[in-house]
A and B are shown apart, each in its own frame.
Chain A
């Protein structure tokens, strides 16, 4: 690494550490203040009784039903694309299974893409289906976290808030305005924003070149701020129109991090214990940093298999060396590492380089991030997942010392543990079973692109990504087949709602409980000891559950790569 690599990393991470607490404070204001005038008018216009407190069942029902409507609306647009306006290229409608996959993908904040944006979607679909679903998917995630947090704040009540108020407050006071401002910044840097579709250029050598343009900038800021990740173009953030400059790459890194890394601080403010929020931030940031270190090391490593071809892979002032397959020159290794670690950790799923061409150790990090899925995780649901792990870690600690586990003054009892464990089990069940199934079925195997452990990783990665609602892909795997479109479509819906509903139930259960004052026997959860306990629990859980596939995939591939074995 050269000095510039260090400076880029330190400046980027420094900005996140600086901004996150401030944004956390702002988010807490959003949810602790009363309705704004414009919000009241909106609730009246839409007939939403935003002051009515909901129990967890009503909250969950409203969340699921509204998401059902969002899903159907998005599906209809994609399914009818061929007969809708603003389609001068006469692109046909998506096939029913790919339209299903796409609507499921975007409503669950996954943004898995079984289609190629510039080749298959009209500008109308990009706006009316994709941009719309990106907004509502991300917003739903954040609203659910607010409801779950209320479980810890309230006592002796059946209610955990109002879904509509939680939904629209973030949308109006933070999400939409920031997306608008950042979209203009992206446009200034070179991201197109027009209603035109294609430009045909006559190149200097006289060849014809098709340039696809469209409303890209408005999608680009949203893609990252909402930790959505679905690109306008097939190459996603690697496309020079999506991420034209190193500055936009850094801004996108910040956009992905700004809300997600602020959530621990938001939590701390909401429960009136800022120190608890800082502790959670330390846990998240430690895992994030560890991942970044491994990726940067992995991608800077010269590929021993290319030595015979006499390729210069050493970094110098004239060349950014390392694994440049699938990476863009303007970013180089370090910007790509920063981006890819963040996009996976924050469950965005946007990429600015080809995940399928990354070295195995980097893929190992991506997989572990997606298995844990909460450091910091996607909009809201990621942090909710961390709270669930905290409850389980405290339960384990309680077992070890023989105390009734307590978290933030709430007694953790059988019902809470069952709900948390239920939520935790979804990931291994979906990822491991579906990966296994696809490796047996011909329909699963025929889509694999690369040979050896790399091909196995493509399948494992796809299901890890679908379940984590991440959306990035090792894109060699052909996922537009009916088998993958339907199975991953279902997996994304299950991966979103199956873990979330038990957590809402958990919040309902906690809200009913008395909050006990701390005493000398209370196990403190805002100490370094708790940081170690929680980290230990997360690593142990991931290791015990996912070690076999990690050995068969990235670890095997890394060992063969350093011994010069090609597949």
Chain B
């Protein structure tokens, strides 16, 4: 038995009373490719942060290089060979590749003067390690996502890493880029460097991993070899539910579309998007990060007005040049990132809910009827079962699922006819996720037109009656979720853009 690179034992960590991690144990052997899987909100990120020294655990120990720590500092983690590549890569976009690679070493050496020649040599050595060719003088902000990731990996390898933790590394990659990444991971393995691969994408996980640890609600569910699992048991371990094939079937779909686009495009983001949405439908739009899905949503909502094409509402061409225009046309938008785009965190729950309709509580003398506004807030808190003792509490006292309900409530309060949701259940616990899906189905059955934009494939397959796949700024296919499997849809999303350009 070889000594582990890292072993965490019985780790517990609570945030503001919420138990994010509860008795997690995880061991990684040298050169092992270990997969950490779990749904959003299961505690994956927290565990990574404990292993890299960002968070101190409340209970448990961390063993590194034969030493036992009750908590790590980031410096200790790095000096013991733990490197994390975060989803945002933590690279400096305004610096060149060379500076990104060599600055750490320069700084660590406590040199007073910078030698560009030495930095270049260091950087060249770093990229050579993973046979990666790139212009060292390019600004990192100009690189593609995959290239940024390679820069981050090269940088991680410079400091004699023994374990590289990759947090959802494939989220924004095309299939070919994923293959290239896997080749690098295998190469690292050959050199005895272990990888902790964090993902919830089944296919990838099975392709690369040698061992799994699945966590759910902060607890380890199982650690096992890939042979012991199939897709169904894997999903079951992740979600704790048996997968029911409960597809959404719309009750009444209107004859006439409520929303149509013709040849819609935003320069540099997406082009030639034709879609139709009828009352009572839930239309799914799925695609990878950078496929243009978010830009499409923003242009329908007037925040990034289209450069070409037309938007029709109830059969009439309308100008959606601003968010206010979109709202006036009855469009609501639940944004991708509720924390930065959806919520006013330090303001009260009820003011968050009523903000979009606040002008309707103003008397003709210009005075705001606070009592009426609070009553409206309370009504939605009851309606959507938002768990709070008092709607006057600030939003940041709530969990992710309840926060998302507030964003939803804000839009439902404006009585929209079309509701666009971008990643409606990102970072939301399973219970709330389920509830939000049920709310959306109810809304559709009440005659709302709903669009779900999401890269959570099971989510769109289960909750939409039609799904469009976006890839490299185009709609590449429209599928019937009842007859399409998750992997078929994933294939459509992640095909290399060069092979589908011809089809346009």
Q: Do A and B come from one complex?
A: no
